[in-house]
Structure 1
C-alpha cells in the first residue's frame, strides 16, 4: 500500500484550524496524514512560515502534500514556504478552506494521487449549499 497524499491546513486562527482539522479528520476516517499550521508560535492570530514548514514535513510521506490556506497572508506565507522548499509535489491549492480541506482529505483517503487530490480541493468551489 502506498502512502497517501498529506494535507496541511493553514489558518490565521488556531481555533479555526483545529475545528476544520477535526471535521476533515473524521470525514477522512483518520487514514490521511493531516496537520494544521494555524496562528503564530505564541498562539496568536496570524501565520508562521516555521509552523507551515514543520506541518509540511510532518505529513510528507512521499506521495505529495496539498496545502489548503484560509485567506490573505496565509496564502502568501504558504507560497513563500513552498517556494523555498522548491518541490513540485508540494502544492498550494486555491480552494475554499472548509470545503476544500474536506474534499482533499476524503479524496486522499481513497488512495488517490496528488493531481486528483488537488483537483478535488479546487472543485470544492463548485459545491452548492442550496
Structure 2
C-alpha cells in the first residue's frame, strides 16, 4: 500500500491534517508526520523527512505532501539522501496539503497505485468550495 508523508512547518498542523484525513481511510495505511524540526521549532528537516519516508515505505511507494516552498526543498533533499531503489518510489505532490492529503489517504487506503494517489491529491486543487 502507498505510504504518505505530511511535511508542514508545524508538527501540530501536520498531525491534525493526518488525524482529519484518516477519518476518510478505508483501511490502515502508513501516514507519517514529518512536520516541524526535531527540537520542536517551526520549520522543516530533511533528515526527519527521510526517516518518515523510510517508515512509510511499503514497497508500493511514498507520496509526500508539503505546505510551503521550503518544505519542497527539504523533501527534495531528503529524497536525495535515499538509496536508489527507494528514491524511484517517492513522489512529491503539487497539491493543497489538507484537501490533497484527504484525497491521497482515500485513494491509498483502497489500494491505488502511487501515480493514482498522486493524481488524486493533485486533483484536489480543482475542488470548488462553493
Partner of 1:113: 113
Q: Which of 55, 59, 64 pairs up with 2:56? A: 59
Runs of 4+ in 1 over 3 A off after TM superposition: none
Partner of 2:13: 16
Q: What pairs up with 1:25-64 in 2 under 5 angstroms?
A: 25-29=22-26, 31-64=28-61
Alpha-carbon offset, residue 40 of structure 1: 0.6
Q: What pairs up with 1:69-84 in 2 under 5 angstroms?
A: 69-84=66-81
Q: Note the aligned Cα RMSD (angstroms).
A: 1.1
TM-score by length of 2: 0.93
Partner of 1:128: 128
Distance in 2 between residues matched to 1:72 and 1:58, nearest whole Å: 23
Higher deviation after alignment, 20-29 or 107-116: 20-29
Partner of 2:92: 92
The answer to whether the 8 Å contact 2:14/2:35 transfers is: yes
Distance in 2 between residues matched to 1:30 and 1:45, nearest whole Å: 31
How many residues matched? 127
The answer to whether the 8 Å contact 2:27/2:110 transfers is: no
Alpha-carbon offset, residue 45 of structure 1: 0.3
